[in-house]
Amino acid sequence: MSSQALVEIHEVNFAYDSRPILNGINMTFPKGKVIAIMGGSGCGKTTLLRLIGGALKPAHGYVQVDGQKIHELDRQGLYRMRRKMGMLFQFGALFTDMSVYDNVAFQMREHTDLPEELIHDLVLMKLHAVGLRGTHDLMPAELSGGMARRVALARTVALDPMLIMYDEPFAGLDPISLSVVGNLIRSLNDALGATSVVVTHDVQESLKIVDYIYFIADGVIVAEGTPDEIRASDKPFVHQFVHGEMDGPVPFHYPASNYSQDLNVQA
């Protein structure tokens, strides 16, 4: 693996029971870069994040982070590795019975011995970075969807992780919130010197902020490249996905028997 690569996914196969999900996946995430993983629903994007985080183990191949193969780590080793990772879950997943302040402070209290006075300053610093320092006394139910996502992002970077993973960070956001979150993903990654992996369906917003994109379909990588290369791609799957076309390699109709015959049967 290149010395500049933080994450290497090598020949990874994975299946849920007898249902294959990933087949021979190879990816490299360089340090300091923002990488997008795209593809249709159920193609294995979130599964890749779980493999990186050690929640799942590959049937074949390996995921290596910061020089260590994740599936070979013992329980303590895995927990140490996870402290260097941040995860923004889909829709934020804030603790609903904790204030904004306590949500952001949670990891600092759980994983460090920092005094409460320092935690206070760090929490306000993280909230200020996402533009929400004034919300520290609010409860999650008092936040808009976009604000909740930004608080979740502040919690994600609370311990200055080397690797930040985002699972559909743009889902359900209005255009303004979507743009704000996208810009924060890029700016926080650059400020922390981290590596970010963004699983998303939002092609247009992702093309503005990422350095490299992988497209997955049917368990394999069908295309990869920089934003400019993806925009110019003449591969049918990429063209359909980027332009949101209804029919193409991913068909509109689910496989079925002959339509006219079905109608005649009903008649």
CATH number at residue 50: 3.40.50.300
Q: Classify residue 127: in a domain, yes or no.
A: no
Q: Classify residue 71: in a domain, yes or no.
A: yes
Range of the domain at 251: 5-84+161-266
Beta strands 163-167 and 19-30, pairing class? unpaired
Between CA 245 and CA 248 the distance in angstroms is: 7
Smallest Cα–Cα separation from 35: which of 236, 185, 156?
Answer: 185
The SS3 call for residue 69 is: strand
Q: Classify residue 100: in a domain, yes or no.
A: no
| Phi, psi (degrees; rounded to nearest 5) at 5 | -95, 130
Whole-prediction pTM: 0.83
Tally of structural domains, the chain: 1
Q: Classify residue 123: in a domain, yes or no.
A: no
State the pLDDT confidence band at 64, using cuts at 50, 70 and 90.
Answer: very high
pLDDT at 249: 64
pLDDT at 233: 79
Between CA 66 and CA 61 the distance in angstroms is: 17
In the chain, what percentage of residues exceed pLDDT 70?
92
Q: Classify residue 119: in a domain, yes or no.
A: no
Q: For residue 141, with 0-12 CB atoms within 10 Å meaning exposed, 13-18 middle and 19 or more buried, which class applies?
A: exposed
Q: Classify residue 33: in a domain, yes or no.
A: yes
Q: Classify residue 31: in a domain, yes or no.
A: yes
Residue 68 pLDDT exceeds 80: yes
Residue 93 pLDDT exceeds 90: no
Q: Classify residue 134: in a domain, yes or no.
A: no
